Structure 1
Amino acid sequence: MSDLTLPQLLALDPEALHTLPSGWGAVAGVLSEGATDYGHVARQVPQAWSDGPAASAANGKLLLLGEDLQAAHTAARVLSMALEDYAHGMTSLRRRALEVIYDAEDSGYGIDQTTGTITPPEAPTGPGARRPVIPVRSLLESFAAIITEARALDDTTARKITTVTPDEHGVLQRPPGTALLDRASVAAQRGRDPKAVNDWWRSLTPEQRGYAIAAYPELVGWLDGVPADARDQANRINLRTQHDLLVAERDALAAKLDRLNNLGRPLTPDERNELQRDNTTGRLAELNRKIGGLEAIGDRLDKPQPGQPPAYLLGVSPDGSGRAIVAVGNPDAAGNIATYVAGTFTYLDSEHIHDGLDRSDKMASDAAFLAPDTPTSVIMWFGYDAPQSIAPEAMQDGWADHAAGDLRRFEDGLRATHDGPRAHQTIIGHSYGTTAVGHAATSGYLNADDIVFVASPGVGADHASDLHFGDGGDPSAHVWATTAAHDVIGAAEGPGQILHDIGRAMGAPTSTDDVNNQHLINGRNPANPTFGGRIFTSAPGTGSGSDVHNAYWHDGSPARDNLGRIIVGKYGEVR
């Protein structure tokens, strides 16, 4: 048990505290690179030497050494995370203690910070003399509460460190009755109901949670039902690891291309075939795009602009076209949560990451202005492989079908990890992102209070009542849509609408309902009155192509103003 005292807490150097986790983080990074390099080399040995008892013994030793390297990396990562929590916690507690001391001194107390001695204020003299004094009991209770928290943090940190470090005899100690998690038990949580995942996570000890984050960040970071701060810790590790792997691959490919381009002779047919087979130049371009996207995420996490809330990384992967989920503000502590789902051409590159984060930051800022007393979190959800072409990919529903289950599970996870009263959850789809949202709400229950379709090419539903979300009331009151008059998306007519238009042009009889039931390429237009939702105003737009289609979040945009009102639930002010 910790016996930390008030003078010891006050004597802590915050700057020195914060250097400790970065040092162990650097050690973990070096060990991670070493383990990766070792793995590449060790896998080659059995290919060259596999027969006989000596080969078997050597390969067994190589395997054990690899496990030792990975264990050392995990231990260093756990230490870094434990010390980071300790540094932030103790710095905050020290600040609170100093605030109590300053208030007490203003009331006439004398407090010796080196010994903790408290000298009561002098008794007031003279007729009617009064002096505001903090009661001694209140002062002592404040200090006692702070020291109790500090000692608990001290003990927790000590247990985390003890779990992954050997004693003086070189024996790894573990707390009685606990065991560190194996990979299989963490992997088993994938795809489970987020409420069950949250129950599992809460059942773990702090040491087990810290170990899981450090040892299996690529698993923990994608578990819906794990709290945002834990997913953020895991995914920051993933971000660094994935960035380093992509940079290493890029540099190796660039060196290979440079070597072949500087041979001083024409390439042989085999060398040309090698370049074509490996698609070296194409892969280099892809790697550079994704490295730029990962670095853009890192900049928002580590270098927020003045006034920007902290960002939480809830998912990241370079696979496919790349995936990234970034929350502006902590959704677990927010009263209003909005999830922004992007559409066609979304890719893990700097351009799309910057655009997505810029829109999320703007919506978070607008919501904070409209509801300053209620925290808001806006989430950039690039959690699916989006179409990378208008034709044929954006004309297909398969991309939305693949996104639907992941989006539903993510929203369920937000409910499962949220602290305090039930939050108001809004999902905002843009362009093909509306198709993904629509398919999520037609193929299952989507855990949202409001659904917003911006510039939609169709959502896979004929009417707002086909969407399954909310509390079971009238869904049309909470389905919102807008499309600018000059947005090119309005020209994305589906086959049914095209035939209908041809029939009208040839003089076939039509009704007002026929004309209004406009079909777009992915279904009924939700910004048409017959869809049954609530249509809100957006600027008609000027220009052509993507200019109008991407202008909904520009400064001064009425659509952006309306999005903020919907996010905070000020429905009466939506225009």
Structure 2
Amino acid sequence: MDIKSLYDANINNITIAKNAFDALAKAFGQHVDAWQHEVADRLSASNWTGPTAGTAHGRIAELGGELQAAKQELSFVSRALANAAEQFALAQSHLINALDDAKKAKLNVAPDGRITWDNEPSSPNFAGSGAERTAIAISNRITAALTEAAHADQEISTRLSHLATNASNGTGLNAATVAQDLAAENARENIPAAGTDPNNVKQWWNGLTEDQRQKFIDAHPDRIGNLDGIPATDRDRANRITLQQAKQDLQVQLDHLGPEPPAKIAGMSGAVSNPAHDDWERRKILLEEQIKGVNAIDKRLTTKVDQNNPPTYLLGFDTKGLGHAIVAVNNPDTADNVSTYVPGTGARLGEIGGDIDRSDRMVASANAANKKAGDPRTTSSITWVGYDAPQSIVPQATKDTYARNASESLHSFESGLRTTHQGAPSNNTILAHSYGTTTVGYALRDKGLPVDNVVLIASPGVGVEHARDLGVDPSHVFAAKGDIDKIDMAFPMTADKLASNGGNNLGSWYGLIQNPDHHLIHGRDPMVPDFGARTIPTSPDTDHSDYWNDNTYSLTAMGEIITGKWNR
């Protein structure tokens, strides 16, 4: 597929052909109905009997089935042409938009896709100092559009060739063949909805051919990539397509944002803030942040795999709201130990780079624990920014709404990990930080999570009073809090809990209470003995974001827990 072919393509001709096949199928159907009524039904109602009559009745019934099969096969041609028209039109629009943007940017696109521009500042056609960056982005968009069209071309050719073969050799008159073709057509169009039980998704995916799976990935990468129950390698293939599309789309939106409006406008009593400027600035910051997150993911995905840089898999991605992403270090479908890390307040697409780094560190810590024990088993650590996390401590992180809203999606994801895992069940850990522990606690309490271990780092409360209420063996629930972490200042907002805290503190100060209780804003502090969790040691001077620092007790402990090596 080249630029001229796609640009000049008359998509309307495909629609005309589709309409012609619709008319043909309708006319053929009418003839089939007339034949059934005038021939088959009349013969069936006759009193003709005997050996010859039996043979005739049998052949007439067989012929009726063949005619119905042929009618169905004609409808498949129509569906194939309709899909082709849609896919070609979308690819063509992407190409035209890219070429229009190139023209606006004073870039010249050659028929072979090469882009040139005028570098002379005094020239009226000067493309500006950022021409190279713009040219690279537009070149990527053109390539993506041509690839999109090539996939559509291959798909329509394969489908029509198959149907033509059926027609020429007579297999299209066979009911079994038509049933297979119908199943393939329905499977091509009926992707399970988001939230479908991962077991059902896996069954659907396993029922497809490899060619059908690839077509779904090419045509609907956003839906396939975010569907729990589809293997990690396939989700990764789909999400990498979506990531590159988003990278281009975000840059286009930023480039088309327009000049900055004035910050102030005249009001009745003087200059006032300009709402247009506030909206422009908000959109600019969001786009720049999301581009930053996309680049961080892209950089990690394309890092050369070696001993210090395990392979990564993109298991989820979108730019809705502040954006979401799920990134796995090592393949969770084949790893012996699988850990899901849920970050807290401030988690979003734009900040995911630091969270991925924490997953890398946890894998390294797990590998060190295994090496020390002479254990060859492998570990995958997943960064799960699959929910809308609070973005401020006050007031957002004081609310449990964000945790409640995440329970369903976290449960689905963890269930999907169990569904797609290969071989013996893995040892699964859910590990969370700050408000992320509240999110995990609510999901464990309200939905249940199929995990073996729970690790709560710097928690403001997890919605329960006791570790046993999380639905996991309390001996596999762990908690950590640094000596200078101020998370225990996240006081509860009810009078009874505040009074309880005050009484316990006073009792402790005067030596009257040995194990003072303490409640935080989202429940009992997991660090107090009455909660029932096993406490993780932390290094001196550990603050709220220091738990993953190199050579810290907490990072070492995480690796030991994830691999089942904790024995303290």
> Which of the five TM-score ranges fits, normalised by the shorter chain?
0.5 to 0.7
In 1, the alpha carbon distance for the partners of 2:209 and 2:85 equals 29
Partner of 1:292: 292
Which segments of 5 or more consecutive residues in structure 2 lack a partner in the other structure? 12-80, 95-150, 167-176
| Contact 2:479-2:536 at 8 Å conserved across structures | yes
Aligned to 1:90: none
Asked if residue 69 in structure 1 is aligned to residue 73 in structure 2, the reply is no
CA contact (8 A) 2:388 2:402 kept: yes
Give the direction of change, closer, same or farther, for the CA distance of 1:503–1:374 in structure 2 (3 Å limit): closer
Structure 1: tracts of 5 or more residues without a match? 1-23, 39-60, 75-159, 470-474, 543-547
Distance 1:229 1:432, change over 3 A: same
Q: 1:161 to 1:502 in 2, by over 3 A?
A: closer
2:377 aligns with 374
549, 553, 558: which is aligned to 1:563? Answer: 558
Letter paired with 1:516: P
For 2:253 and 2:92, the matched residues in 1 are separated by 25
- Which digits, 9 at most, give the CA deviation of each residue in 1:353-398, with x for residues without a partner? 2211111001111212222511111000011010011111111111
Q: Which whole-Å CA distance do the structure 1 matches of 2:337 and 2:524 have between them? A: 29
* Cα distance in structure 1, aligned partners of 2:314 and 2:348: 17
Q: Please, what is the CA RMSD of the aligned residues?
A: 3.7
Partner of residue 212, structure 2: 208
1:477 alignment partner, one of 451, 475, 478: 475
Post-superposition Cα deviations, 1:273-319, rounded to whole Å, max 9, x if no partner, equal: 98528701111011101111011100000124642111000001111
Partner of 1:549: 544
Structure 1 residue matching 2:341: 3-state secondary structure: strand
Give 3-state SS (helix, strand or coil) of 1:332's partner: coil
Aligned counterpart in structure 1 of residue 190 of structure 2, from 169, 177, 185? 185
CA drift of 1:516 comes to 2.2
Q: Distance in 1 between matches of 2:232 and 2:339?
A: 15
Asked if the contact 1:181–1:211 (Cα under 8 Å) also holds between the matched residues in 2, the reply is no
* Alpha-carbon contact 1:235-1:313 (below 8 Å) kept: yes
1:340·1:381 contact (CA, 8 Å) conserved in 2? yes
The 2-side partners of 1:66 and 1:560 are apart by 51
**1:499, CA displacement in angstroms?**
2.2
Answer yes or no: is 1:361 the counterpart of 2:360: yes
1:208-263 CA-to-partner distances (Å, cap 9, x unmatched) read: 1111111111111111100000000111111111221111111111x343xx579x
> 490-499 vs 397-406, which deviates more?
490-499
Question: SS at the partner of 1:571?
Answer: coil
- SS of residue in 1 equivalent to 2:430: strand
Provide the residue aligned with 1:115 in structure 2: none
Q: 1:183 to 1:498 in 2, by over 3 A?
A: farther
The question of whether the paired residues in 2 share the 8 Å contact of 1:331 and 1:414 is answered with yes
- Give the CA deviation at 1:163: 6.2
Q: How far did residue 444 of structure 1 move?
A: 1.8
Cα pair 2:504 2:516 within 8 Å, conserved = no
Instruction: For residue 371 of structure 1, give the secondary structure of its aligned residue in structure 2.
Output: helix
Deviations 1:5-39 (A, max 9, x none): xxxxxxxxxxxxxxxxxxx8xx89x98xx89xx9x
Q: How big is each residue's C-alpha offset from its partner over 1:388-420, in whole Å with a ceiling of 9 and x where there is no partner?
A: 111111111110011111111111100000001
Which residue is 1:498 aligned to? 498
2:157 matched to which residue of 1?
166
Contact kept, 8 Å, 1:163 with 1:174, in 2: the verdict is no
TM-score scaled by structure 2?
0.66
Per the alignment, residue 15 of structure 1 pairs with none
In 2: Cα distance, 1:424 partner to 1:161 partner = 42
- Deviation track 1:316-340 (CA, whole Å, cap 9, x = no partner) reads 1111222110000000010000000
Using a 3 Å threshold, how does the CA distance of structure 1 residues 276 and 443 change in structure 2: closer, same or farther?
A: same
Which whole-Å CA distance do the structure 2 matches of 1:296 and 1:519 have between them?
37
Aligned CA distance change for structure 1 residues 62 and 521 (closer, same or farther; 3 Å):
same
Residues 1:180 and 1:64: Cα distance change in structure 2 (over 3 Å): closer
Residues 463, 530 of structure 1: 8 Å contact kept: yes
* Distance in 2 separating the partners of 1:426 and 1:244: 36
Whichever residue aligns with residue 540 of structure 1, its letter is P
Change over 3 Å in CA distance of 1:552–1:168 after alignment to 2: closer
Q: Tell me what 2:449 maps to.
A: 446
The Cα of 1:463 is off from its aligned counterpart by: 0.2
Could you list the per-position Cα deviations for residues 498-521 of structure 1 after superposition, in whole angstroms to 9, with x for gaps in the alignment?
Answer: 223445689999996796221011
Instruction: Give the whole-Å Cα distance in 2 for the aligned partners of 1:267 and 1:63.
Output: 50
SS, match of residue 199 in structure 2: helix
Q: Which residue identity lines up with residue 185 of structure 1 in the other structure?
A: N
Q: Does 1:455 align with 2:458?
A: yes
* Partner residue in 1 for 2:104: none
Aligned mates of 1:406, 1:244 — CA distance in 2: 28
CA contact (8 A) 1:529 1:535 kept: no
Does 2:410 align with 1:415? Answer: no
Comparing 483-492 with 422-431, which one deviates more in the overlay?
483-492
Give the letter aligned to residue 391 of structure 2.
Answer: Q
CA contact (8 A) 2:500 2:518 kept: no
> Aligned equivalents of 2:401 and 2:216: distance in 1?
34
Alignment CA distance shift 1:215-1:169 (3 Å): closer
Distance 1:161 1:559 in 2: 51
- Name the SS of the counterpart of 1:333 in structure 2: coil
Name the SS of the counterpart of 2:447 in structure 1.
coil
Correspondence 1:82-231 to 2 at 5 A = 164=155, 166=157, 177-178=180-181, 179-180=184-185, 185-186=190-191, 188-231=192-235
Distance 2:320 2:466 in 1: 35
Q: Decide which structure has the larger Cα Rg and report it.
A: 2
CA contact (8 A) 2:339 2:381 kept: yes
Q: Aligned pair in 2 of structure 1 residues 275, 223: CA closer, same or farther (>3 Å)? A: same
3-state SS in 1 of match to 2:344 = coil
Residues 565 and 302 of structure 1, relative CA distance in 2, 3 Å threshold:
same
Question: Aligned equivalents of 1:224 and 1:363: distance in 2?
Answer: 24
The alpha-carbon distance between structure 1 residues 506 and 67, as it changes in their structure 2 partners (threshold 3 A), is: closer
**C-alpha contact (below 8 Å) 1:167/1:173 kept by paired residues:** no
2:334 alignment partner in structure 1: 333
Give the SS at the match of 1:166.
helix
Distance apart, 1:170 and its partner CA: 8.2
How far 1:569 moved relative to its partner?
Answer: 0.4
Would the aligned equivalents of 1:242 and 1:318 in 2 still touch at CA under 8 Å? Answer: yes
Q: Deviations over 1:68-127 (max 9, x none)?
A: 3347899xxxxxxxxxxxxxxxxxxxxxxxxxxxxxxxxxxxxxxxxxxxxxxxxxxxxx
Which residue is 1:388 aligned to? Answer: 391
Task: Find 1:399's aligned residue among 397, 402, 405.
Answer: 402
* Corresponding letter in the other structure for 2:481: T
1:251-262 equivalences under 5 Å are: 251-253=255-257, 255-257=258-260
Correspondence for 1:89: none
CA contact (8 A) 1:195 1:225 kept: yes
What is the rounded CA distance, in whole Å, between the counterparts of 1:385 and 1:494 in structure 2?
Answer: 23
CA distance in 1, matches of 2:265, 2:521: 47
Match in the other structure for 2:314: 313
**Distance of 1:297 and 1:174 partners within structure 2:** 45
Letter in 1 for 2:228: D
Q: Note closer, same or farther for the CA distance 1:467–1:69 as it changes in structure 2 (3 Å cut).
A: same
Contact 1:183 1:216 in 2 (8 A): no
Q: Does 1:431 align with 2:422?
A: no
Give the 3-state SS of the residue equivalent to 2:333 in structure 1.
Answer: helix
For residues 263-302 of structure 1, the aligned pairs below 5 Å read 276=276, 279-302=279-302
What corresponds to 2:111 in structure 1?
A: none
Alpha-carbon separation, structure 2, partners of 1:213 and 1:431: 36
